[in-house]
Amino acid sequence: MELQLSDENFQKEVIESELPVLVDFWAEWCMPCRAVASTVTQIAEEFEGRLKVCKVNVDNNPKTASAYQIVSIPTLIIIKNGQKMDQIVGNVSKDFIEEKIRPFLDSKPE
């Protein structure tokens, strides 16, 4: 499940999250954002319980977008323990995103 974030709930949902978080910075008018959206949804389902996946509309939440210096969208940011760990810019493959997030996931429970 993906969570829609705002400037108001970003701190609580992302910075204070116990799970690593993949934040998708996007906008309605952005075609590459729409293209990567289905991939982000698949990752949210596949890693449920191990990774929190959130979306931030940059047009509606300029404070958060500015705080993370988002200049190009889509931008995916991986945050763990409140710290930015990695960043992915553009419409990239599911395999590429998974490769970037795996080092930040706790090992799968048996």
Segments making up each domain of the chain, as ranges = 2-103
Give the 3-state secondary structure of residue 69. Answer: coil
End-to-end CA distance of the chain: 22
Q: Active-site residue among 23, 30, 77, 97?
A: 30
- 33 part of the active site: yes
- 30 part of the active site: yes
Q: Active-site residue among 5, 22, 33, 36?
A: 33
Average pLDDT of the chain is 94
Superfamily of domain 2-103: Glutaredoxin (3.40.30.10)
| Model confidence pLDDT, tens digit, residues 22-48 | 999 999 999 999 999 999 999 999 999
pLDDT for the residue 108:
56
